[in-house]
A and B are shown apart, each in its own frame.
Chain A
Amino acid sequence: MRSVAVVGTGQTKHARRRDDVSQAELVREAADAALADADMCAEDIEAVLIGNMELFEGRGLPELWVGGGAYGTGKPVMKVATGGTSGTSTAIAAFHQVGSGLFDRVLAVGFEKHSEGHTQTGMALTDPFWDRAVASGALGNFALSVSQYVAAGHATEDQAALVAVKARRNAARNPHAHLQMPDLTVDEVLASKMLAHPLRMLDMCPQSDGAAAIIVASDAVAREHNPRPAWVKATATRHDQCYIGDLDRRLLSMRTLRDASAHAYTQAGITDPVRDLDVAEIYEPCTYAELAWYEALGFCEAGEAGRLVEKGVTSMTGALPVNPSGGVLSTNPVGASGVIRVAEAACQIHGRAGQRQVERADLALATGYGVYAWADVVVLGSEP
Chain B
Amino acid sequence: MIRTESIHIPFTYAAGGTSSIFLAALRDEARILATPCPACDTVICPARSSCPACGGPTATPVDVGPAGTLVSWTELADGTTLALVRLDGADTSLVHRLAGGDGTWVAGQRLRARFGESRTGAITDIVGFESENGAGR
- Chain A interface (Cβ within 8 Å of chain B)? 19, 58, 128-131, 133-135, 139-141, 143-148, 151, 193-199, 241-246, 248
| B15 nearest CB neighbor, chain A only | A129
Residue of A nearest to B77 (CB): A195
Residues of A within 8 A of B123 (CB): 129-130, 133-134
Q: How far is the CA of A281 from the CA of B71 in the complex (A)?
A: 32
Q: For the complex, what is the distance from the CA of A161 to the CA of B122, rounded to whole Å? A: 39
Contact with A along B52-84 (1 / 0, CB 8 A): 110000000000000000011111110010111
Asked if B52 contacts A248 (CB within 8 A), the reply is no
Docked pose: A243 CA to B53 CA in angstroms:
11
B72 touches A151 (CB 8 A): yes
How far, in angstroms, from A326 to B135 measured CA to CA in the complex? 44
- B131 at interface by CB-CB < 8 Å: no
Cβ-defined contact, B19 with A129, below 8 A: yes
Distance (Å) between the CB of A381 and the closest chain B CB?
A: 35
For A129, A131, A143, A241, the residue with the greatest tally of chain B CB atoms inside 10 Å of its CB is A129
Do the beta carbons of A147 and B74 come within 8 Å of each other? yes
Residues of B within 8 A of A (CB): 2, 7, 11, 13, 15, 19, 23, 44-46, 52-53, 71-77, 80, 82-84, 86, 92-97, 107, 122-124
A193→B77 CA distance, assembly (Å) = 9
Contacts of B86 in A (CB 8 A): 248
A128 nearest CB neighbor, chain B only: B13
Supplied contacts A144-B73, A145-B72, 14 more A-B pairs, CB within 8 Å: A129-B13, A129-B15, A131-B95, A134-B82, A134-B95, A134-B97, A135-B95, A144-B72, A144-B74, A147-B74, A244-B84, A245-B84, A245-B93, A248-B84
B7 proximity list for chain A (CB < 8 A): 58
Contacts of A194 in B (CB 8 A): 77
A146 to B122: give the CA distance in the assembly, Å. Answer: 27
The residue that B83 contacts in the complex, of A129, A144, A196, A241, with Cβ under 8 A, is A144
Whether B52 lies near A147 (C-beta < 8 A) is: no
The 6 A-B pairs of least Cβ separation, nearest first, read A143-B74, A148-B72, A245-B93, A248-B93, A241-B52, A197-B75
Which single member of B94, B97, B124 contacts A245 (CB below 8 Å)?
A: B94
Q: Please measure, in the bound complex, the distance between the C-alpha atom of A128 and the C-alpha atom of B82, giving whole angstroms.
A: 17
A133-B123, A133-B124 known; A242 and B52 CB under 8 Å?
yes
Residues of chain B within 8 A (CB-CB) of A58 are 7
Per the bound structure, the CA–CA distance linking A130 and B107 in Å amounts to: 22
Task: Give the Cβ gap from A142 to chain B, nearest Cβ, in Å.
Answer: 9
Interface contact A129-B107, CB-CB below 8 Å: no
B61 nearest CB across to chain A (Å): 15
Closest partner residue, chain A, to B92 (CB atom): A246
In the bound assembly, the distance between CA atoms of A154 and B107 in angstroms comes to 15
| CB-based nearest A residue for B3 | A116
With A58-B7, A151-B107 in contact, do A139 and B76 touch (Cβ < 8 Å)?
A: yes
The one of B46, B77, B97 in contact with A196, judged by C-beta atoms closer than 8 angstroms, is B77
Q: How far is the CB of B37 from chain A (nearest CB, A)?
A: 11
Contacts of A198 in B (CB 8 A): 74
**A284: min CB distance to chain B, Å:** 18
B66 shortest CB reach to chain A, Å: 16
What A residues does B44 contact at CB under 8 A? 246
Give A19 to B93 CA distance when docked, in angstroms: 43
The distance from the CB of A106 to the nearest CB of chain B, in whole angstroms, is 33
Instruction: Give the complex CA separation of A130 and B124 in angstroms.
Output: 9
Complex A-B: 13 CB contacts under 8 Å: A129-B23, A130-B46, A134-B82, A135-B96, A135-B97, A146-B74, A148-B71, A148-B72, A151-B72, A196-B75, A197-B74, A197-B75, A245-B94
B80: chain A residues at CB < 8 Å are 140
- B15: chain A residues at CB < 8 Å are 129
Cβ of A129: which chain B residues have Cβ within 8 Å of it? 13, 15, 19, 23, 46, 122-123
Query: Which of A139, A193, A196, A246 neighbours the largest number of chain B CB atoms within 10 Å of its CB?
Result: A246
Are the CB atoms of A144 and B77 closer together than 8 Å? no
Q: Name the residue on B nearest A58 (C-beta).
A: B7
- Partner among A131, A147, A242 whose Cβ is within 8 Å of the Cβ of B73: A147
Contacts of B52 in A (CB 8 A): 241-243, 246
Chain A nearest CB, measured from B89 CB (Å): 14
Please determine whether B45 and A141 come into contact, CB atoms closer than 8 angstroms: no
